[in-house]
Amino acid sequence: MAEQMRGWSLSFSGCGFMGFYYVGVTQCLSERVPQLLRDAPKMLGASAGALHCVTFLCGISLEHRLQILMDLVRSARKRNIGVFHPSFNMSTCIRDGLNKVLPSNVHKLVSGKLVISLTRVSDGKNVLVSDFDSKEEIVDALVCSCFIPFYCGLIPPTFRGVRYLDGGVSNNVPFIDSSTTITVSPFYGEHDICPRVKSTNFFHVNITNLSFRLCSGNIYLVARALFPPEPKVLGEICLRGYLDALRFLEEKGICDPSPPFLNVPVEEKEPEIPLSCCENQSPPTKTEGNNEITPEGVEFIDHLRLSIIPWDEEILKTVSPELYLALQKAMKEKGGYLAKILNCLPVRIMSYVMLPCTLPVESVVFVVQRLVRWFPDMPDDLEWLQWAAYKIFRLA
């Protein structure tokens, strides 16, 4: 079966802040069946799926990929009203982050292998892009693929002079040949690698190629995709991706029988262990391969056990030590004592009480900053707004 799956492509759906799931999936595949990723002719993605593809294909380390995602989450959560605060601009964060982490020759590394799903604004058609001439083109395409109207702004960004928005609007799970593509999604559905719901509810819909089961779990996941939860929950989502990928490999009969093991003894998996991921950590214990594992990792497994299906119970002990250690490091709060003081309950309560006074002032400051940054693009954007208004009035 492993030989038959050589040359299969992988497609990652759009999922917002749930991109941690894909880190777990690719970590499992790279440990168990590295030839599957190495020989994949295409890696396709929309929105967050495309972001994951480009960082993976560039060879960015597991630890660095998790840190990039966690920094984006912290940027979205650091203000009282989260993503709605005027200081947070998703498109700007993505563009600045990509310019910082991607190598200058990224277009040479991924052209022909990375496929990004875009939605053309003028006619709503889906466009798949795989050839790039520069790093700037890749960054522009990724920013376009992640642009959700109103959530990210009003004016869609451009790629090669044409305006596009989120690829998930027209094709959330892109593929070239469905018979040789492994589809991946963090939502409950019918994709090759995705969570499995314990409920007997079999109702599901297909939304722009995304198989979406109608259940309360998916409603929660959609909310988490748009409004990031605390780091601990994102860590659990990442480990969920690892377990779902491992289950897929076991079902296909292509799992490597001797991968690295977390191998936490049963007596260490009791819920009584303190649930503290980022502070007051106990001295680490040693496992196979000289990987240092601290007892706080048990928290992830305990939370996952609440929602897993029966045949996933056995594979919980096979969680990757490398993935766990990278997650633990990424979740560690930065800023030392100052960060702890700012996050303590009395300070947070006071910040909410002062919000009616501070928010108007902050809004004015950040609106002025946005206007200054927008000034070079203002003529083109105003021309597009005029065109969009004309189209809307014609339809009315």
Catalytic residue set: 47, 166
CA distance 76 to 193: 28
Cα four-point dihedral sign 370, 376, 379, 383? negative
Range 46-62 burial, b when 16+ CB lie within 10 A, else e: bbbbbbbbbbbbbebeb
CB neighbour class for 27 (10 Å; exposed up to 12, middle 13-18, buried from 19): buried
The bridge status of strand 158-159 relative to strand 162-166 is antiparallel
Q: Which residues contact 350 (CB under 8 A, 6 or more apart)?
A: none
Q: Which two tokens stand for residue 13?
A: 């759906």
DSSP for 110-146, please give it. Answer: HTTTEEEEEEETTT--EEEE---SSHHHHHHHHHHHT
Residue 195 tokens read as 């969570």
Residue with tokens 């559905």: 189
- CB-based contact 174:45 (threshold 8 Å): yes
Of 20, 18, 53, the C-alpha closest to 37 is: 53
Q: Where are the alpha helices (DSSP H) in the chain?
A: 20-32, 34-38, 48-57, 62-77, 90-101, 106-110, 135-145, 216-226, 231-252, 297-305, 321-331, 336-343, 345-353, 355-374, 378-395
DSSP 192-253: SBS---SS----EEEETTEEEE-SHHHHHHHHHHHS---HHHHHHHHHHHHHHHHHHHHHHT
CA atoms within 13 A on the CB side of 7: 5
Nearest-Å Rg of the Cα atoms of the chain is 22
β-pair type (114-120, 162-166): antiparallel
